[in-house]
Amino acid sequence: MTLHSTLSDVRRITVTLPTTLLTRLDEHVPTRSRSRFIFQAIEERLAIEEQLTVLDETAGAWTDENHPDMKTDEDIDRWLTTLRASWGQAENVADG
């Protein structure tokens, strides 16, 4: 999502920042670019938070008991080699 695509649905808020953080913002971001900068920073941080939430929700879904064929580094390397080889085969079928 970009800032331009959301300009029709915006709300102004008040944010309180420590003076040291505001000074750093002033040093690096022109005043007229603050909204875009803060918008992008929030978007990036929320993406991380959402990923962390999904990781927490799915923790424990993968167990060695359910995947005995993937217990060692060698097992995983073998699986990756097979997977990657299949990508080339899929391209050949699509081209053929």
37 closest CA partner among 49, 50, 48, 24: 24
Q: Do 56 and 70 fall into the same domain?
A: no
Is 83 found in the same domain as 44?
A: no
Same domain, 44 and 71: no
Q: Give the residue numbers spanning the domain of 89.
A: 65-96
Task: Report pLDDT digits (tens) over 2-54.
Answer: 555 556 788 999 999 999 999 999 999 999 999 999 999 999 999 999 999 99
Claim to verify: residue 76 and residue 44 sit in the same structural domain: no
- Is 80 found in the same domain as 56? no
Give residue-wise pLDDT tens across range 58-74. Answer: 998 888 888 899 989 99
One domain for residues 13 and 37? yes
Burial class (CB in 10 A: 0-12, 13-18, 19+), 16: exposed
Q: What is the pTM of this model?
A: 0.60
